[in-house]
């Protein structure tokens, strides 16, 4: 948002009036050369302001990129740890499933033996 957009309407009018009075005063008291020098200074000041602004923006961007890289590294490390934990949980689940299948097979075998013994005892 520009400075003009932030200023109230009366402040805009006051700034415009001050600028007109300044340049008219330059013409009246200093002649046309004063106006030319003021314009050159205005352009030079604007260019200097742009250069300083670009450099400040570059430094801010570099700082933000450094922070983002640090966050990316932390997120990558966390994702690696979570993936390792997920693999461990998956291995434990597969082991538990194998144990459960073995237990069911043993129970089925014992049940068959019990049924056989009961059939032999009643016969």
> Which tokens is 114 given?
């019990």
Q: How many domains does the chain have?
A: 1
Mean pLDDT on 1-13: 60
Three-state SS across the chain? CCHHHHCCHHHHHHHHHHHHHHHHHHHHHHHHHHHHHHHHHHHHHHHHHHHHHHHHHHHHHHHHHHHHHHHHHHHHHHHHHHHHHHHHHHHHHHHHHHHHHHHHHHHHHHHHHHHHHHHHHHC
28 vs 51, higher pLDDT:
51
Residues 12-37: pLDDT tens digits? 677 777 777 777 777 777 777 777 77
Residues 62-108: pLDDT tens digits? 999 999 999 999 999 999 999 999 999 999 999 999 999 999 999 99
- Report whether pLDDT(11) > 70: no
d(CA 85, CA 112): 40
Domain that holds residue 42: 3-122
∠ Cα 65 47 24 (to 5°): 145
CA 118 to chain CA mean position, Å: 71
101 vs 117, higher pLDDT:
101
Residues 29 and 17: beta-carbon distance below 8 Å = no
Q: Give the pLDDT of residue 5.
A: 55
């Amino acid at each position: 948002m520009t400075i003009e957009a932030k200023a109230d309407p009366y402040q805009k009018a006051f700034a415009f009036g001050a600028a007109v009075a300044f340049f008219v005063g330059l013409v009246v008291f200093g002649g046309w050369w004063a106006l030319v020098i003021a314009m050159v200074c205005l352009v030079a000041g604007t260019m200097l302001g742009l250069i300083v602004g670009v450099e400040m923006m570059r430094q801010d961007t570099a700082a933000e990129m450094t922070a983002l890289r640090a966050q990316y590294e932390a997120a990558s490390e966390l994702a690696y740890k979570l993936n390792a934990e997920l693999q461990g949980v998956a291995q434990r689940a597969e082991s538990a499933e194998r144990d459960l299948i073995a237990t069911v097979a043993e129970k089925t075998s014992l049940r068959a033996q019990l049924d056989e013994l009961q059939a032999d005892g009643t016969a």
